[in-house]
């Protein structure tokens, strides 16, 4: 229960970063934290289903469910893809306007020669 | 008027938190038991059916290989998009972008050169190990590929001039990624020719673990090349002609 609440708070921290921060790179950090919170939730819940790692050496018994771990492998890779694309967009906007601040970017895009 | 303006964000934050609590409450408070059937099935039969000791590898390259193929395509598309955005950005303001942090010249120090240059090959070897032994120990293509990518980033940080090792050049990395994806498609399509179907085991007598090892190596190459290509491009080398 406490662990779930902590993961939920981590999720909210990420959401706060995405919504409230003005710096584009910090927004990407927030997105990454959101993703990590979901990954942590899955791995934590899966870890309750057994005691040993799901690697079938001789004598290993009572392994944890490997399905959420395999699922989170996919989620991590997709998270990297999302982060990379978001950073690419931030890079492009910085090239065009010289700033990472969303208000400055908006201002310069409105008044600049673009 | 001003009071109303100040109250807006606070009300927004409160309603956001209330909504999140509403959505997340079942997750936090639910106590439904973990479904044990898939885990028990894999524990009993997973190694025999796929040949891989590491059941996570058995899932993502055996039972769910279609999903992994889609994942590799998503990664390819993301790398293509990011590279496209970085490379075509150019200098829209004719070099008026913020250069307070000195650009490339100040990033190179002796410490960085020595540490990253010596560490890079070791990290590369470790990445290949993680990649090739994913079926019997923790690791696999994606994890090993990321380690390989960090090794390549080390090498490209540690080089002194623009004539670094060929492995850190964007053109080489792009070619490796494209080639390894082509070989992945050929490997999973080989079963169509031999009659075992798409993604089927092409050699009827061979253990299914062979396909897991081969796919791990190919995916590791592809992921390593793709992610290091993005990093190398973001290390301000995008302006160099490829």
Q: Are B156 and B164 in contact (CB under 8 A)?
A: yes
In chain A, what residues touch B83 (CB-CB under 8 Å)?
88
Q: What is the DSSP letter of B160?
A: S
Distance between CA atoms of residues A104 and A9, nearest Å = 30
ipTM: 0.84
Distance between CA atoms of residues A93 and B122, nearest Å = 36
Nearest C-alpha in A relative to B19? A12
Option in A67, A82, A99 nearest B39 (CB): A67
Sign of CA dihedral B17, B22, B27, B29: positive
B71-75, B184-188, B201-205: least confidently modelled range = B201-205
B53-67, B110-124, B227-241: least confidently modelled range = B227-241
Put simply, the answer to whether B39 touches A91 (Cβ < 8 Å) is no
Nearest C-alpha in B relative to A47? B34
Put simply, the answer to whether B227 touches A80 (Cβ < 8 Å) is yes
CA B99 to centroid of chain Cα atoms: 30
Q: Which CATH number fits domain A2-49+64-111: 1.25.40.80, 3.40.30.10, 3.40.50.300, 1.10.287.3510?
A: 1.10.287.3510
Residue A36 is predicted with a pLDDT of 95
Q: What are the per-10-residue average pLDDT scores of chain A (114 residues)?
A: 87 89 93 94 88 84 88 91 91 86 88 68
Q: How far is A78 from chain B (nearest CA, A)?
A: 7
Distance between CA atoms of residues A45 and A42, nearest Å = 5
């Amino acid at each position: 229960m406490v662990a779930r609440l902590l993961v939920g708070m981590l999720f909210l921290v990420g959401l706060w970063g995405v919504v409230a921060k003005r710096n584009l790179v910090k927004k990407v950090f927030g997105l990454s934290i959101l993703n990590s919170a979901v990954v942590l939730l899955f791995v934590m819940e899966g870890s309750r289903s057994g005691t040993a790692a799901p690697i079938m050496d001789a004598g290993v018994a009572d392994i944890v469910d490997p399905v959420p771990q395999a699922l989170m492998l996919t989620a991590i890779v997709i998270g990297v893809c999302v982060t990379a694309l978001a950073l690419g967009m931030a890079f492009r906007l910085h090239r065009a306007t010289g700033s990472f601040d969303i208000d400055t970017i908006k201002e310069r895009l409105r008044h600049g020669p673009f | 008027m001003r009071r109303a303006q100040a109250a807006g964000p606070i009300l927004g934050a409160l309603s956001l938190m209330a909504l999140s609590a509403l959505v997340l409450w079942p997750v936090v408070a639910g106590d439904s038991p973990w479904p044990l059937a898939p885990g028990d099935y894999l524990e009993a039969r997973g190694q025999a059916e796929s040949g891989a000791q590491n059941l996570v590898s058995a899932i993502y390259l055996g039972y769910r290989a279609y999903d992994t193929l889609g994942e590799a395509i998503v990664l390819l598309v993301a790398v293509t998009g990011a590279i496209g955005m970085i490379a075509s950005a150019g200098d829209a303001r004719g070099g008026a972008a913020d250069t307070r942090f000195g650009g490339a010249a100040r990033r190179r120090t002796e410490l960085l050169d020595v540490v990253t240059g010596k560490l890079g090959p070791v990290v590369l070897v470790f990445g290949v190990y993680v990649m090739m032994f994913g079926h019997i120990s923790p690791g696999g293509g994606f994890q090993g590929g990321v380690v390989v990518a960090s090794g390549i980033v080390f090498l490209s940080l540690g080089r002194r001039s623009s004539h670094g090792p060929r492995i850190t050049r964007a053109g080489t990395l792009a070619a490796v990624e494209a080639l390894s994806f082509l070989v992945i498609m050929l490997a999973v399509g080989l079963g169509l020719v031999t009659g075992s179907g798409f993604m089927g085991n092409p050699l009827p007598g061979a253990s299914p673990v062979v396909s897991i090892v081969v796919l791990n190596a190919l995916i590791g190459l592809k992921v390593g090349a793709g992610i290091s290509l993005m990093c190398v491009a973001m290390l301000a080398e995008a302006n160099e002609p490829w």
